[in-house]
Amino acid sequence: MDTKITIIGAGVVGLAIAVKLSENTDSIFLIERNKLFGQETSSRNSEVIHAGIYYPQGSLKAKLCVAGKKKLYSFCDQYEVPYSQCGKLIVATSGEEVEMLSAIKKRAFNNGVDDLIFLNQEEIKKYEPNIFALAALYSPSTGIIESHSYMKQLETLAVNNGVELAYGNEVTALNKIDNGYKIHIKEPDGSAYSFTSEKVINSAGLEADLISAMLGLQNEALRIQFCKGQYFRVNPPKNKLVSRLVYPVPNPNLTGLGIHVTTDLSKGVKLGPDATYLDENIYDYKVDHTRLDDFYISAKRFLPFIEKEDLSPEMAGLRPKIQKKGEKVKDFYIQEESKNGLPGFINLIGIESPGLTASLAIAEYVKNLL
């Protein structure tokens, strides 16, 4: 075999896996079709370190988010990755939503998030004097991270541990062979080559279902549907009127977490993301200007100072959803595929939010699967 382990995809998850596995394994290839790491979903997200509040109890999303959050804060401290544990408010703007806060607190508690605090209207003003809410939950363990610096640090550690990076290399086919896999690659100039690997880890984000299908493993439950999340920027000076993350009470099927306020480390404030399923899986990162009214109406409920002219289109990301439109929330699919005749092949499919937060815990989980 040419190598022991091949990881497909240098997003935040593939990078974290590369670091973890290279701590005590040599001969690891990390293959990425783009010329740099993290050019897709890993650089088009809210950069929130999630607490782990909403996910169904016992799910991988819940467990790996809570474990990943702790690991991520320690990692940031150890390697001086910029972050802020700024906290977040989940705000209720109607009597019905106030009642839902208790259920959210209970679910969070069951997930191991035991630090949520109920705030009344007066207490909310101490945190965010300019927002409107009847009641809120405050999550002190939620934060924001500079995700590019985080990924750069992961890449540095992986290289220092001996991981070989093959950027600008696209996996075009996979074959099962005796004791491993043959991997076919296309290079930027169109030339092709192939090599063999004992184990393969599919961390290909938006195309993880297609990589899995290359080995004949495909079914409707694993089919990814792109779901766009768009953001509008809150222009100065209104961006100064809110200083931490503010979320509405989410809808029950958790397609997204509702249009919320995200701050970043350079004091930028944006609204989003929405959740719009695309009819086809195309890389459409355009922000639809006509969504402005919906963003305005959603945000106005808890940001009474917002006017339409305060908002400008900012950016969009694509969620690799295995939860089809109208379905209930689905868990991460992370499996070693021996039972499907593919020993040593690990699939990571549907790694949407909280994949950034959970990345270090996902890496450890994958190590244990191997």
Ligand X SMILES: Cc1cc2nc3c(=O)[nH]c(=O)nc-3n(C[C@H](O)[C@H](O)[C@H](O)COP(=O)(O)OP(=O)(O)OC[C@H]3O[C@@H](n4cnc5c(N)ncnc54)[C@H](O)[C@@H]3O)c2cc1C
Binding site for ligand X (CB under 6 A): 8-14, 31-34, 38-42, 44-48, 50, 170-171, 203-207, 211, 229, 273, 317-319, 351-357
Q: Which residue has the tokens 């989003």?
A: 272
* 50/107 with CB nearer ligand X: 50
| Contact by Cβ (8 Å): 249, 260 | no
CB of residue 225 to ligand X, shortest distance in Å: 13
CB of residue 308 to ligand X, shortest distance in Å: 22
* 135/345 with CB nearer ligand X: 345
| Contact by Cβ (8 Å): 51, 62 | no
CB of residue 317 to ligand X, shortest distance in Å: 3
**What are residue 228's DSSP bridge partners?**
276, 318
CB of residue 242 to ligand X, shortest distance in Å: 17
CB of residue 107 to ligand X, shortest distance in Å: 18
CB of residue 122 to ligand X, shortest distance in Å: 29
* 135/275 with CB nearer ligand X: 275
- Would you give the DSSP letter of residue 326? T
CB of residue 207 to ligand X, shortest distance in Å: 4
* 22/45 with CB nearer ligand X: 45
- Phi/psi at 184 (nearest 5 deg)? -105, 135
Half-sphere exposure of 327 (CA within 13 A, CB side): 11
**Where are the alpha helices (H) located in 132-225, listed in sequence order?**
147-160, 208-214
* 135/153 with CB nearer ligand X: 153
User: Alpha-carbon distance 97 to 78, whole Å?
Assistant: 39
* 124/366 with CB nearer ligand X: 366
Surface-to-core class of residue 189, CB atoms within 10 Å of its CB (0-12 exposed, 13-18 middle, 19+ buried): exposed
| Contact by Cβ (8 Å): 153, 81 | yes
Q: What is the largest CA-CA distance in the chain?
A: 67
* 60/135 with CB nearer ligand X: 60
> Is the peptide bond preceding residue 82 cis, with omega within 30 degrees of 0?
no
- Phi/psi at 297 (nearest 5 deg)? -65, -45
